[in-house]
Amino acid sequence: MKNTALLLAAVLLTACAAQDPAEEQSTQDTAQAIRDFIEVRDLQSVDKISTSSSDSWTELDQHFLLYEGRRESHLVEFIRRCWELDDNTRIVPDQRRSGSTIYARFDTIRGCRIRHLYELTEHEIAELESIGEAVGSRN
């Protein structure tokens, strides 16, 4: 009985040590900083954006990414933390209503449903990238 209790304690301590609270905190800080940015800038969400095959995106954190199209750039906010952005072992296909348009609330990127799409200016893009680097400890 004593050995079982020691083994259980060792397993629990190992599980607690495996979690990285600093990384968890920095992700929360980045997401909150971006939410504050949206509120301060009073960014208006749009229902849809036009897409093409040459579009790209850059992850800011697991809640937000910058989507760069041919003519415009947008901030994408997910409904939940999107682990699939970092996890290349589980690639989930996108769900799209249209091949040339992304819709908020209906479509997905890497399997994560989109909550909001925000139009951005070049200045706002630079500011958001600096938020991600400063708070999110991107290497």
74 confidence band (pLDDT: 50, 70, 90): very high
pLDDT at 46 over 60: yes
Question: How crowded is residue 106: how many other Cβ atoms within 10 Å of its Cβ?
Answer: 14
Comparing 21-25, 92-96, 108-112, 132-136, the range with the smallest average pLDDT is 21-25
pLDDT single digits (tens) 31-42? 899 999 999 999
Can you give the pLDDT at residue 138?
42
3-class secondary structure for 30-81? Answer: HHHHHHHHHHHHCCCEECEEECCCCCEEEECCCCEEEEECCCCEEEEEECCC
In this prediction, residues 119-129 reach a mean pLDDT of 91
In this prediction, residues 114-123 reach a mean pLDDT of 94
For residue 131 the two structure tokens come to: 């938020």
Give the residue extent of every domain in the chain: 27-136
